[in-house]
Amino acid sequence: MAAAVPTAGIGLGMKATPVILLLSQVALTALGCATVQPPAQSESARVSAPIDVWIDVDTAAGVPRRDIDDAVALIQAFHSPELSVKGVSVVFGNTSLDNAMPIAKEVSQRFGPIGLEVHAGASSATELGQPTAATTALAKALTAQPLTLLVLGPATNIASLIAMRPDLVPRIERIIAVAGRRPGQRFTTGTSNLRGHRDFNFEKDPEAFRIIIDSGVPLVLAPWEISSTVWITQRQLDLWAKGPPAAQWLARKAPSWIELWKETFHVDGFNPFDTLAVATLTSPQHIACDTWGIQIIRAPNDVTAPEMQGGQPAQSKPYLVVQAAVEGGPQARYCHAAAPAFLDDLMQRILSARGSSSARPYGK
């Protein structure tokens, strides 16, 4: 990339050791493979059944200047032999629920397992604890079998299920969420966002994460820290445009999103945030994680321009932070580094993705 490389800043005023991320130049190198083969199954996938997962998304691919990473992650998951996707639910977040639902349905119906259903969830954080089609469907699925939950947007749907149906908590094998940070860490990108942007999924509904933490369900975090080292650039989009239908679909949805990053952060690509959460299951050999204590604290606001934060920032705000574990306190697996090989792994899955007719039938 010719543009400036994002770095992680420090200094929220918290009493904690600052963290500076050193980003690998290798991770920024564009992929250039002439022939793409379907991804090989990991050793664990060859000797065990696929992991049963439920995916909760806030899809926005195709909405002008909005994230496409949920759609990328769905296609990645649908074409990963390590996973068996049992259901998809949709939540507000990157866009409104009304916008997100048809996008999730289109991706799932065109590129997902045959017969996979998509369920509408919360339209705002004010619906936390209220029943929706998503919570009803997830409760039914958990009653039938234990599941791993991939939470790629605000956690309102999942926390609502936990609050309403605590009897089903033991059926949740783990929750993998795109959220969290180390103490003192700022989320900065390029050279024009020095003060940082927000921990989007967490800040959209902090109480939902509090419910998840208090539930005791094993929690894995795939935060900004790990995704900030992985870049999708125009070179990857050009490969998608020449690939199978799912890859071509993504390539058509990406231009306004990549243009936003260039205009706002002065970088020539974007971070595919949600794909790293999927990779903790499909490609753990490429993901470095450690177990830390976890808590929600309140500290001075680290936001920058209001347009990047959804409105005028307050003086302080909650943070989801990991730090040294306290005996008896809640813990989480915090994933902080992706090997350079992850980008190749992701591209192979996207470039081997076909339509739903070649995907594993729902429930199989």
Q: What is the pLDDT of residue 325?
A: 78
Q: What is the pLDDT of residue 94?
A: 96
CA neighbor of 221 nearest in space, from 291, 160, 268, 169? 291
Number of other CB atoms surrounding residue 47 within 10 Å: 8
Q: What are the pLDDT digits (tens) for 157-176?
A: 999 999 999 999 999 999 99
Q: What is the pLDDT of residue 290?
A: 96
Give the Cα separation of 16 and 47 in Å (integer): 43
Q: What is the pLDDT of residue 302?
A: 83
Q: Is the model's pLDDT at 39 over the cut of 70?
A: no
Q: Is the model's pLDDT at 41 over the cut of 90?
A: no
Global pTM?
A: 0.85
Q: What is the DSSP code (8-state) at residue 184?
A: T
pLDDT-derived band at 227, boundaries 50, 70, 90:
very high
Q: Is the model's pLDDT at 15 over the cut of 90?
A: no
pLDDT over 70, % of the chain: 80
pLDDT-derived band at 356, boundaries 50, 70, 90:
low
pLDDT-derived band at 5, boundaries 50, 70, 90:
very low
Does residue 175 contact residue 151 with C-beta atoms inside 8 Å? yes
Q: What is the pLDDT of residue 265?
A: 87
pLDDT over 90, % of the chain: 73
Which of helix, strand or coil describes residue 74?
helix
CA neighbor of 277 nearest in space, from 88, 123, 84, 72? 72
Which of helix, strand or coil describes residue 297?
strand
Q: Judge: domain 9-18+49-352, CATH 3.90.1150.10.
A: no
Structure tokens given for 326:
């306290």
Whole-number mean pLDDT of the chain? 86
